[in-house]
Amino acid sequence: MRRAVILLVSLAFIFTASSALARKKSYMKVAGGTSVPSLGLGLDADYSSETDNIIPGFKILSVAIVNNSINIMQLDSRYDEWQLVDIRGKKHDPIIDLRTVSPDTYLAIPEKLRQELEYPMMIQVGETKIVDLLFKDSVKLDGFRALKFFASSMGAGFEIFPQE
């Protein structure tokens, strides 16, 4: 009897946990350069072809995050999710940590640039941080349709649409 109860409780836990993990993430649609007043957050994404040759083989998409809330915003490169939708509708995952993906390239760039490319761990109240997302040279960033960002610490997703 006791084993049956333990088995029943275990199965209930597994089904509850798996259904919670299986839920599709929802994304709030945000026009680039605007804020989300309910969260005290501003988001914008910009691509400039002038940055294409800074790191050989990569293009950079810069994302500005403004924290106007009353809380510190935590970021985590292991759990935050980013995805770019290019002009043709094709999805591309960026490189967030060049050090782990391409150590030789990472070591070849100047120390100051390495520090600027570091993924921020937090954004203080009233602070703006730039997150530089790297894409392979073959990805067409001009005229991208959208950038999806899921902030794991907030449990919130944002779909940023660039403004022309």
Give the separation between CA 59 and CA 15, rounded to whole angstroms: 42
**Which tens digit of pLDDT belongs to each residue from 30-49?**
888 888 888 899 999 999 99
The pLDDT of residue 35: 86
Residue spans of the chain under pLDDT 50: 4-9, 11, 17-20, 22
**Which tens digit of pLDDT belongs to each residue from 52-63?**
889 999 999 999
CATH top-level class of 27-161 = mainly beta
Contact 84, 143 (CB under 8 A): no
Write down the pTM of the prediction. Answer: 0.80
The pLDDT of residue 78: 92
Extents of the domains making up the chain: 27-161
Greatest CA separation found in the chain?
70
Tokens found for residue 87: 């002009």
